[in-house]
Amino acid sequence: MSANAASFISTARALAAVALLSATASTAIAADAASLPAPVAQPAPPLAEAQAPAFAVGEAWTFSYENALEPAKNATYAQSVSSVAADGSPTLNGGAAALDASGNLVKNASGSYQPSDGKLQFPLFVGKSWSASYVYRAGSWAARGEREAKVVAVERVETSAGAFDAFKVEQVVSWSGTEGNRGQGVTRETDWYAPSVGRIVRMEYVDQAAHAASTTTRVELAKFSAPQ
């Protein structure tokens, strides 16, 4: 065998050995990778703070209303944004209802609040508390309300419209009639505000008027649609 032939055979054997080692290494790496657990999706970070919602024409919400004392009043009602003022406050259902820029109720078919019902005050974060005063008018009756509210937690809340990450707000309202059939009482309320839809998605409250039976009311989001 010539020196050139011997050199060629030696080189070929060396290259074959390298190829075998590379294949073996690749196989081992692939086996190790296959044995590793699949990556786990990380949960979204919890809500830390919510700014005031940005309402848009065409947004729509449907709510279910249940009153334990007067079930004949149980119903669903829909709200859609007809226009948005320069300060961000929306008009709903062609002017039949209105919210302030924070989503607090100013008026609906039942009555009006001056300046608003004050249920929300932004930014929201756990530990925040606030006070709000308002006058509510319904026909010939009027009452003054004094609200104390506090954000106590962030919770995942289930509704007919789905599950939402929400700020849980506990509230107490002391109210007293100032006109008409006066009366007075205390309302204890828990609200869950979901930033993803810009509204309170669940509301539970017990209204206790003096010398009368308490009444429990629940309001829950049943449907939400964004502008098209």
Integer Rg of the chain from CA: 31
Single-letter code of the amino acid located at 159: T
- Residue 46: DSSP 8-state: P
Same domain, 34 and 146: no
Same domain, 188 and 215: yes
pLDDT score of 20:
42
Question: The whole model's pTM is what?
Answer: 0.80
Q: How confident is the model at residue 9 (pLDDT cuts 50, 70, 90)?
A: very low
pLDDT (average), residues 155-176: 97
Q: How confident is the model at residue 68 (pLDDT cuts 50, 70, 90)?
A: confident
Same domain, 30 and 113: no
Same domain, 78 and 181: yes
pLDDT (average), residues 22-32: 49
Same domain, 83 and 28: no
* CATH at residue 194: 2.40.360
Same domain, 115 and 31: no
Same domain, 64 and 170: yes
For residue 50, being part of any structural domain is answered with no
User: Nearest to residue 167, comparing CAs of 132, 121, 135?
Assistant: 121
pLDDT (average), residues 79-92: 98
pLDDT score of 172:
98
d(CA 7, CA 5): 5
| Tally of domains in the chain | 2
Residue 48's region, left for phi above 0, alpha for psi from -120 to 50, else beta, is: alpha
pLDDT digits (tens, 9 = 90+) for 90-130: 999 999 999 999 999 999 999 999 999 999 999 999 999 99
Same domain, 114 and 18: no
Same domain, 70 and 28: no
pLDDT digits (tens, 9 = 90+) for 132-163: 999 999 999 999 999 999 999 999 999 999 99
Q: How confident is the model at residue 44 (pLDDT cuts 50, 70, 90)?
A: low
Same domain, 87 and 192: yes
pLDDT score of 180:
82
Instruction: Give the whole-number percent of the chain exceeding pLDDT 70.
Output: 80
Please write down the long-range contacts of 184-192, taking CB distance under 8 Å and 24 or more positions apart. 184/209, 184/210, 185/209, 185/210, 185/212, 189/119, 191/119, 191/120, 192/155, 192/157, 192/164, 192/166, 192/167, 192/168
- By the 10 Å C-beta count (0-12 exposed, 13-18 middle, 19+ buried), 128 is classed as middle
In three-state secondary structure terms, 19 is helix
Q: Which residues contact 208 (CB under 8 A, 6 or more apart)?
A: 185, 186, 187, 188, 214
Instruction: Give the whole-number percent of the chain exceeding pLDDT 90.
Output: 72
Same domain, 92 and 205: yes
Q: Does the structure show a pLDDT above 80 at 2?
A: no
Same domain, 85 and 14: no
For residue 134, being part of any structural domain is answered with yes
For residue 51, being part of any structural domain is answered with no
* 155-185 exposure pattern, b = at least 16 Cβ within 10 A, e = fewer: eebebebeebbbbbbebebebebeeeeeeeb
Omega of the bond leading into 123 within 30 degrees of 0 (cis)? yes
User: What range does the domain containing 71 cover?
Assistant: 60-225
